[in-house]
Chains A and B, each alone.
Chain A
C-alpha cells in the first residue's frame, strides 16, 4: 500500500532526516510537539505538528505507545516511523501498529522481539552456526550462577543486559572478587533502562574491533548487505566516531562477515533496515554480538559510500516494494566518516555540558553533510541525549577523507557550550588512527590526552583573559573620574575597536 502520510514518532536530527526523505517522496509529514522543547527545529521541518504539550503522565511522550497510536489514527495517518531508540526496538509498538492497521516503518514485531532479546538472538545464531563467544546459554539468575559460569569460561567476562543496547547495563568483570558488585550494578541498570533486569554472562574479548554490517531485507524474502561500518572509537561503549568501510577488512573477510550477517537476518525472515554487530579480534576471527532492528545513528556513512538513501528504502519496503538492488549491484566507493558532536566536556571526563547554543558556524562543501536537530538559541537540557550534530565527511580514499575531516572540524564552531569537537580533532591527529590501526581500547590505551590543543592556545587564552580584565579596570577608572576624561579613549583601544568594525 502506498504511504501518503507519515508520523515520525521521534525528535531531533533523526526526525528531520526522515522528514527530508519523506518530502522527496511526496509524503505528508507529521511530528509530535512536547513541552520539553516547544521550539525545536524538527517541528518546523514537518508539514504538521500534533501537540503533546499537555502531556503530564509519568511515561515520557515518545514512550507512550497508546497515545502515539491514537494520535496517528485520529489524524488518519498511514504510517509511523519510530526513528531510533525505544519505539524502534519495541515489539509491542510494532504489534500495536499492525493491530490498528498503521504501517510500521521497520521489521516485523516477531523479528524485533527475537533480535531484541540477546539471549534468543544468540540461541538462533548458535543454531545456524554463526560464530559466537562462549557464555551463559541464557539469562543468569544470580551472582552465584554468574560466578560458576565465569570460572568455567575464564575471566575477564562481560555481563550484559538481555534487552540492552548502547552500552547500558554492561559491566566487564576482571576477577571473581568483583563479580557480585558488578552483577548487581548491571542488573539494576538494566531494570531501570530497559524494564528488564535479566543479565547474561559472556567471555570478554580484550581490545576487539567493533564492526557492524548494514543489512536490508524486503517482504519478498530478499536480504542483502550494504557493507560494514567500523565503530571502534568508543567511550564506555558509546560510539563517538564511525567510518565505512573498515580498514580492517579485505574483500574475503567482508564477504564472509556479510554472509554471516545475512544468515542471521534470515533466521527471523527479516525485512527493512537492520544492523548486525560483530566483534573482530586481532586474528580476524569474528563473533556475532547482536542485531539492531532499526536505522542506526551512524547510517549516513553507509549512505555516503553506497550512494543510497536508507530511509527511502525503509519506506519502500514498508509499502511492500521489493529491494531496488541485488547484492552484486551494491558498490562501495570511497570512504566516509561520521563524527558525533556531543554537548560534553572532554576536559572533565566527557561530563554533560548543559547550556544554550549561542552561535553556530557550520562548514559547507560537497564532501560535507551535517545532520543536526538544533539551531542557534537551542537549549541543551538533561532530558535528552547529548548529541547535537553529526558531521559526515566523504573522501575518495581514507587519507583524503581524514584530510577533509580535519579541515571541516577546524571550521565547525559552536559558541556557548563545550563539545566533543576537540576530541574529534585529537583522534584525527593520532598516527595509529590515521593508519587505520585501532580497536575499542583506542580511547583508553592509545590516547594520552582526549582533546586537541593548538600550540599557542593557552598563551592566547591568558592574553584574552588579561585583556578583558584590564579593559574592565580601565572602564571602572574612566567612570570614576570627571566626564571630560571619560570621553577620551586611548588611541590603542580606538585602533582595536576600529579593526573590529
Chain B
C-alpha cells in the first residue's frame, strides 16, 4: 500500500483476543501479511456452496463471521469460536490506559448462561450468598440447571421473577462482593 506521495505505508492492527492474547497484524489486505512479526501466506476463498475458507500451509479451514459490531468480532474456525476486538495502534494504547485506570467494581452481575425459564429463585435481595451456592434454577431444553454464585457477598438486586423467560446473557442478579 502506498500513500499519496507513492511511499509505502504500513496498516497496523491489533486483534485483542481472550485472556489478554494479542495478535499484531500488518497489512491484512496485502499479499504478504505479517502476523506477530511473521510473514504468512494465507489465502481466502469462497466455494460455490457459500462456505468461506482460509488456506494456510496446505490446510483448509472453514471460517465464518458469527457476529460483528463496530470493532468487535466473533469468528468461527472449524466450529470453534473466538472473540476479538480489533484496535489500531492508537486505540490500543487508549484501551490499555483505560483498563489500568478503572478500578475493579465491587458489584458482580450474574447473567443467564443459556436461554430458558426461571423455575426457582433460591435467594432474595439482601441475602448473603457464598461462592458455589445455588441461587437460581434455570430450565432450558427440559433440563434443570443450577446457577451458582461465583463470588461470596450480598445480593444487591434481583432482576427476575419465577417463570420469567430469559435470553442468554440477560442479567439475573447483582451481588456485592464481601
CB proximity to B under 8 Å, residues A410-459: 413-416, 418-419, 421-422, 451-454, 456-459
Q: Give the residues in chain A near B63, CB-CB below 8 Å.
A: 460-461, 464
Q: Mark A223-240, 1 if CB is under 8 A from B, else 0.
A: 000000000000010100
A418 with B79, Cβ < 8 A, contacts A185-B137, A382-B141, A499-B45 known: yes
A465 with B84, Cβ < 8 A, contacts A236-B143, A460-B61 known: yes
Q: Mark A330-368, 1 if CB is under 8 A from B, else 0.
A: 000000000000000101110110100011010000000
From A409, which residue of chain B is reached at the shortest CB distance? B79
Check B171 for interface membership: any CB of A closer than 8 A: no
| A492→B29 contact, CB < 8 A | yes
Q: Mark B135-157, 1 if CB is under 8 A from A, else 0.
A: 00101111110000000000000
Which of A347, A352, A419 is B141 in contact with, Cβ under 8 Å? A352
Check A488 for interface membership: any CB of B closer than 8 A: no
Chain B interface residue count: which class?
A: 35 or more
A422 vs B61: C-alpha distance when bound (angstroms): 13
Check B98 for interface membership: any CB of A closer than 8 A: no
Check A168 for interface membership: any CB of B closer than 8 A: yes
Check B3 for interface membership: any CB of A closer than 8 A: no
Check B172 for interface membership: any CB of A closer than 8 A: no
Selected interface stretch from A47-55, A136-144, A284-292, A468-476 = A468-476
Q: Give the residues in chain B near A327, CB-CB below 8 Å.
A: none
Check A251 for interface membership: any CB of B closer than 8 A: no
Which of A354, A358, A465 is B50 in contact with, Cβ under 8 Å? A358
| A185→B144 contact, CB < 8 A | yes
**Nearest CB of chain B from residue A242's CB, rounded to whole Å:** 19
From A423, which residue of chain B is reached at the shortest CB distance? B79
Q: Mark B116-127, 1 if CB is under 8 A from A, else 0.
A: 100100000000
| B86→A469 contact, CB < 8 A | yes
**Nearest CB of chain A from residue B120's CB, rounded to whole Å:** 8
Check A325 for interface membership: any CB of B closer than 8 A: no
A456 with B114, Cβ < 8 A, contacts A462-B15, A463-B33 known: no
Q: Give the residues in chain B near A422, CB-CB below 8 Å.
A: 78-80
| A462→B17 contact, CB < 8 A | yes
CB proximity to A under 8 Å, residues B42-73: 42-46, 49-51, 54, 56-57, 59, 61-65, 68, 71, 73
**Nearest CB of chain A from residue B94's CB, rounded to whole Å:** 17
A192 vs B143: C-alpha distance when bound (angstroms): 10
CB proximity to A under 8 Å, residues B69-120: 71, 73, 75-82, 84, 86, 113-116, 119
* Total A-B residue contacts, Cβ distance less than 8 Å: 170
Central interface residue in B43, B73, B134, by most chain A CB within 10 Å: B73
| A474→B29 contact, CB < 8 A | yes
A463 with B73, Cβ < 8 A, contacts A457-B61, A470-B13, A500-B44 known: no
Q: Give the residues in chain B near A416, CB-CB below 8 Å.
A: 64
Check B1 for interface membership: any CB of A closer than 8 A: yes
Central interface residue in A361, A382, A421, by most chain B CB within 10 Å: A382
Q: Give the residues in chain B near A454, CB-CB below 8 Å.
A: 59, 61, 77-78, 80
Q: Give the residues in chain A near B46, CB-CB below 8 Å.
A: 500
A127 vs B99: C-alpha distance when bound (angstroms): 68
Check A480 for interface membership: any CB of B closer than 8 A: no
Q: Give the residues in chain B near A465, CB-CB below 8 Å.
A: 15, 65, 68, 73, 75, 84, 86
Check B31 for interface membership: any CB of A closer than 8 A: yes
Q: Give the residues in chain B near A470, CB-CB below 8 Å.
A: 11, 13, 28-29
CB proximity to A under 8 Å, residues B5-61: 11, 13, 15, 17, 21, 23, 25, 28-31, 33, 35-36, 40, 42-46, 49-51, 54, 56-57, 59, 61
A349 vs B143: C-alpha distance when bound (angstroms): 13
Check A496 for interface membership: any CB of B closer than 8 A: yes
| B49→A458 contact, CB < 8 A | no
28 A-B pairs with C-beta separation under 8 A = A168-B142, A181-B134, A185-B137, A192-B139, A193-B142, A347-B81, A351-B114, A351-B115, A352-B140, A354-B115, A361-B49, A419-B79, A422-B80, A454-B61, A456-B56, A456-B57, A457-B77, A462-B17, A463-B40, A466-B84, A467-B25, A467-B44, A468-B68, A469-B86, A474-B29, A493-B29, A496-B29, A496-B31
Chain B interfacial positions (CB closer than 8 Å to A): 1, 11, 13, 15, 17, 21, 23, 25, 28-31, 33, 35-36, 40, 42-46, 49-51, 54, 56-57, 59, 61-65, 68, 71, 73, 75-82, 84, 86, 113-116, 119, 134, 137, 139-144, 168
Taking A416-B64, A418-B81, A458-B21 as known contacts, 16 extra A-B pairs with beta carbons closer than 8 A to each other, sorted by chain A number, are A168-B142, A354-B115, A382-B140, A385-B142, A414-B79, A451-B79, A458-B23, A459-B36, A460-B54, A462-B17, A462-B75, A463-B25, A464-B54, A465-B65, A469-B73, A499-B43
Those 9 A-B pairs whose CB atoms lie nearest each other, nearest first: A351-B114, A462-B23, A462-B15, A465-B73, A461-B75, A466-B25, A469-B86, A461-B82, A467-B28
